[in-house]
Chains A and B, each alone.
Chain A
Amino acid sequence: MGASKMTDPLVIASGVGKEFPGGVQALTAVDLTIERGQFTAIVGPSGCGKSTFLRLVAGLDEHTSGTLSVDGDAPLEARRRRGDLAYVFQDATLLPWRSVRRNVALPLELRQQSDEARIDEVLATVGLSEFADAIPAQLSGGMRMRVSIARALVTQPGLLLLDEPFGALDEITRQRLNEELLRLWERDGWTGIFITHNVYEAAFLADRVLVMSARPGRIVADIAIPFEHPRDADLRHQPPFAELAREISEQLERAHS
Chain B
Amino acid sequence: MNTRALITQIGPPLFFFAFFVLSWYALVEFFDIPPYLLPGPPRVAEAVSTHADRLIDAALLTAMGALSGFALSFAFGFAVALLFSQSRIIERGLYPYAIFLQTVPIVAIAPLIVLWIGYGLQGVVAVSFIISLFPIIANTTAGLTQVDPRLLDLFAMNNANRWHVLFKLRVPNAVPNMLTGARISSGLSVIGAIVGEFFAGYGTDDFGLGYLIIQTSGQAKTDYLFACILFCTLLGLAIFSAVGLVSNRLLRRWGGE
Q: Which residues of A contact B (CB under 8 A)?
A: 55, 58-60, 79-80, 83, 85-87, 89, 91-97, 106-107, 109-111, 135-137, 144, 155
B154 touches A89 (CB 8 A): yes
A106-B158 contact in complex given A96-B257, A137-B257, C-beta closer than 8 Å: yes
Inter-chain contacts of A111 with B (CB < 8 A): 158-159
A145 to chain B, nearest CB (A): 12
Closest to A136 in B: B257
A95-B151 contact in complex given A79-B159, A110-B160, A110-B168, C-beta closer than 8 Å: yes
A95 to B175, CA, bound (A): 13
B168 touches A93 (CB 8 A): no
A89 touches B150 (CB 8 A): yes
B153 near A: Cβ within 8 Å? yes
A137 touches B255 (CB 8 A): yes
Inter-chain contacts of A58 with B (CB < 8 A): 153, 157
A110 touches B155 (CB 8 A): yes
Q: How large is the interface on B (under 10, 10 to 19, 20 to 34, 35 or more residues)?
A: 20 to 34
A110-B159, A111-B159 given; 7 more Cβ-contact pairs under 8 Å: A60-B153, A79-B159, A89-B154, A93-B148, A95-B169, A96-B256, A96-B257
A96 touches B255 (CB 8 A): yes
A107 to B154, CA, bound (A): 9
Inter-chain contacts of A107 with B (CB < 8 A): 158
The contact of B253 among A91, A97, A110, by CB within 8 Å, is A97
B20 near A: Cβ within 8 Å? no
The contact of B156 among A60, A91, A94, by CB within 8 Å, is A60
B159 touches A83 (CB 8 A): yes
B36 near A: Cβ within 8 Å? no
Inter-chain contacts of B88 with A (CB < 8 A): none
A135-B255 contact in complex given A79-B157, A110-B155, C-beta closer than 8 Å: yes
Within residues 166 to 182 of chain B, which ones have a CB less than 8 A from any CB in chain A? 168-169, 172, 175
User: What are 24 A-B contacts with C-beta separation under 8 Å?
Assistant: A55-B153, A58-B153, A60-B156, A79-B157, A79-B159, A86-B157, A87-B153, A87-B157, A91-B150, A93-B154, A95-B172, A96-B254, A97-B172, A97-B253, A107-B158, A110-B155, A110-B159, A111-B158, A111-B159, A135-B255, A136-B257, A137-B255, A137-B257, A144-B257
